[in-house]
Amino acid sequence: MPSELERSMESLITVFHRYASKEGSGNSLSRRELKDLMEHELSGFLKSQKDPAAIDKIMKDLDTNGDGEVNFEEFVSLVVGLSIACEQCYQMHLKKMGKK
C-alpha cells in the first residue's frame, strides 16, 4: 500500500498529465493547458493575483528551456515554490498561535 507521500506524488503526476494531454504531445503544458490547470487546481492562488498577465508571467518564469511549453520538471518548480510559500504561512500561523 502506497504511503501518503507516494500518493501525493502520484496525484501530482496524474494532474500534470491530465492537463498536458489536452493538446500537443502530452508531455508538456501549453499556455492554455497551464491556464486551465491553474484555474481548476490552483484557483485560490490565481484569484489572489491582481495582475491580469499573471499566467503569461508564470509561463515565462517556468519555461526555463524557452520552448514555449512547460514540461513536468518545470511544472514541479511551480509546485515547490507554492509549497514553500504555504509552509512559511503555516509557520507564521503557528507562531501567532503560540503567542496567544
pLDDT range class, residue 11, cuts 50, 70, 90: very high
pLDDT digits (tens, 9 = 90+) for 38-90: 999 988 877 777 777 888 899 999 999 999 999 999 999 999 988 998 888 88
CATH class of 4-99: mainly alpha
pLDDT of residue 99: 59
Q: How far is CA 52 from CA 13, 49, 55, 77, in A?
A: 28, 8, 8, 22
Extract the runs of DSSP E, i.e. beta strands, from 1-100. 28-29, 70-71
Query: What are the residue boundaries of the structural domains of the chain, listed by start?
Result: 4-99
- Supply the mean pLDDT for the chain: 89
